[in-house]
Amino acid sequence: MTEAKAASIPLAVEFTGGLELLFSNQRKHKIAIPSKKPDGEPSNVGDLISWLCDNLIKDPRKEMFVLDDSVRPGILVLINDADWELEGEDKYELQPNDEIVFVSTLHGG
């Protein structure tokens, strides 16, 4: 039990399209989050987003990242170079060394 609780899952997280401004102006982050939720279920992308809000975001304007319990409209989530909608969205179970990219859509032209 202790072992399971301590286990963490290493991930590569990247923010682009201006989202990096909310995360200390740093695009790439190597992080490790608990591999299981308190209820014992494996952590998924939804848990990663909560973890980022609790641990990594530096800007108090959290609504620029998360709205209504999911990423705000205009942000694409990419799981290993695929739209997360192809992978089960926030229910996708994280694997070690997954690369999760958060892209804010740009509008300038």
Stretch that binds other proteins, among 5-13, 19-27, 31-39, 46-54 (CB under 8 A): 19-27
- Contact yes or no for 72/66 (Cβ under 8 A): yes
Determine if 82 is a binding residue for other proteins (CB under 8 A).
Answer: yes
Determine if 104 is a binding residue for other proteins (CB under 8 A).
Answer: yes
Q: Which of 67, 88, 95, 97 binds other proteins (CB under 8 A)?
A: 67
**11 or 71: whose CB is closer to other proteins?**
71
Count of positions on this chain that bind other proteins (CB under 8 A): 32
Range 29-67 burial, b when 16+ CB lie within 10 A, else e: bebebbbeeeeeeebbbbbbbbbbeeebbeeeeeebbbe
Q: What distance in Å separates the CA atoms of residue 98 and residue 79, rounded to the nearest whole number?
A: 7
Determine if 27 is a binding residue for other proteins (CB under 8 A).
Answer: yes
- Contact yes or no for 24/52 (Cβ under 8 A): no
CB of 92 to other proteins, least distance (A): 14
The binding site for other proteins (CB under 8 A) comprises: 16-18, 21, 25, 27, 58-61, 63-64, 67, 72-76, 78, 81-83, 85-86, 101, 103-109
